[in-house]
Amino acid sequence: MNGYVFWGYAITLGGIAFYTVRVALMTRHMKKRMARDK
C-alpha cells in the first residue's frame, strides 16, 4: 500500500476513534462527578 494513502486512512480512522473514546471518557467522568455531588 502506498505510504500517503496509508497515513491518510490511518489518521482519519485514528482521529475518529480517538475522538469517540475521548467523548466516552468525558461522559463517564461527568456522570461519576454528578453522582458524587448528589
Partner 1 sequence: MSQTTGSLAKSLTVAVSAAAVALLGITVWLGLFVTDPDSVQGEYVRLIYIHPAVAWTSYVAFGVTAAASALYLWPKSRRRFWDLLAGASAEVGLMFCGLTLITGAIWGKASWGVWWTWDARLTTTALLYVLFLGYLALRRMPGDTHARARRSAIAALVAVIDIPVVHLSVEWWRTLHQGPTLVRTNPTIHGLQLTTMLLSFLTFTLVYVALLIQRYRLERLESSQEVDDLAAAVAERRSTISTSPRKTDSSILGATQ
Give the footprint of partner 1 on this chain (CB under 8 A): 1-2, 4-5, 7-9, 11-13, 15-16, 19-20, 23-24, 26-27, 30-31, 33-34, 37
Give the three cell numbers for residue 19.
Answer: 475522538
CB 19 to partner 1: min, Å? 5
Contact residues for 30 (Cβ-Cβ < 8 A; gap 6+): none
How far apart CA 8 and CA 12 sit, in angstroms, is 6
